[in-house]
Amino acid sequence: MKYKIIYADPPWQFGSKAYQDSNRTMLKLEETQYDTMDIETLKKLPINNIADEDCICFMWVTDSHLKEGIEVLESWGFKYKTIGFNWIKKYASGSFCVNFAPWTLKSWEICLIGIKGTMGKYKQVNNIQGLIIAERTKHSKKPNEVRSRIDKLFGDIPKIELFAREKVEGWDAWGNEVPKEEQKIIS
Ligand SMILES: C[S@@+](CC[C@H](N)C(=O)[O-])C[C@H]1O[C@@H](n2cnc3c(N)ncnc32)[C@H](O)[C@@H]1O
C-alpha cells in the first residue's frame, strides 16, 4: 500500500544532558509513558516504501528535536517545507499550559510538513488554519482537529497515521499501542 498522506508523531527520546540536568522529573515522566526510539532507528524506518511518488508527511516534533526531525523527514525521502500546525495548549481551566524546558516554559507543539513529489494538485481548499488552540488531554495526545483539518485540506486520498494510538475512520494506523487486528504492517 502506498500513501499520499503520512501523519507521524514519533516517540522522541529526550537524551540531551542539558535537558536531563534541568529537568529530571520531566524526563522521567516523558520516557515512562511509552517506549521511545533513538534518532538512528527512526531514520531507518522504511517509510519511503509506503510513501507514494507524491506524498506529504506531517510530523510532530518537540522544539528540542527540530533539527533531528528535519533529518528524519529527509531520511524518509521528504523535503522539509514548513510548519503545518502550531498547537497552543490550554488547560481545562482555559489558561495556557506551561511545560518545563531548559530555557523558557513551553505552551505549544509544532507539526512539520515534508513533501515528496508535488502535492499542490491534491489540495482541495485554501483556508485551512495552521493555528490550533486546544485543550491538552491525555499525555502526548494531539488534538483530533489536526486529522480533520488534513482531511479537509486533501479530501479522500490514501492516508496513514504512524505511531498512532487508535485507528480512526478513513485512516490506516500503525503503532505499538494500536490493536494488532486494526493496524497496518510497515515493511
Ligand atoms: C508521541 S506518542 C503518539 C501519540 C498519538 N499521536 C496521540 O495523539 O495519542 C508515540 C507513540 O509511539 C509508540 N511507539 C514507541 N515505540 C514504537 C515502536 N517501536 N513501534 C511502534 N510504535 C512505537 C508509543 O507507544 C506511542 O504510542
The pLDDT, as a whole number, for residue 33 is 85
14 CA from centroid of ligand 1 (Å)? 14
pLDDT tens string for the chain (187 positions)?
A: 999 999 999 999 986 444 455 555 555 555 568 999 999 999 999 999 999 999 999 999 999 999 999 999 999 999 999 999 999 999 999 999 999 999 999 999 999 999 999 999 999 999 999 999 999 999 999 999 999 999 999 999 999 999 999 999 999 999 999 999 998 888 7
Q: Read off the pTM.
A: 0.93
Amino acid letter, 68: E
Please, is 77 exposed, middle or buried when counting C-beta atoms within 10 Å of its C-beta (0-12, 13-18, 19+)?
Answer: middle
Confirm or reject: Cβ of 101 under 6 Å from ligand 1. Answer: no
126 CA from centroid of ligand 1 (Å)? 31
Confirm or reject: Cβ of 175 under 6 Å from ligand 1. Answer: yes
Number of H helices, E strands in the chain: 5, 7
- Strands 108-116, 51-61: pairing kind: antiparallel
Whether the Cβ atoms of residue 128 and residue 149 lie closer than 8 Å to each other: yes
Cα 136 to chain centroid distance, Å, stands at: 15
59 CA from centroid of ligand 1 (Å)? 13
Q: Which three cell numbers stand for residue 164?
A: 498512532
Q: What is the DSSP letter of 65?
A: G
Amino acid letter, 145: E
Confirm or reject: Cβ of 142 under 6 Å from ligand 1. Answer: yes
Confirm or reject: Cβ of 145 under 6 Å from ligand 1. Answer: no
Confirm or reject: Cβ of 171 under 6 Å from ligand 1. Answer: no
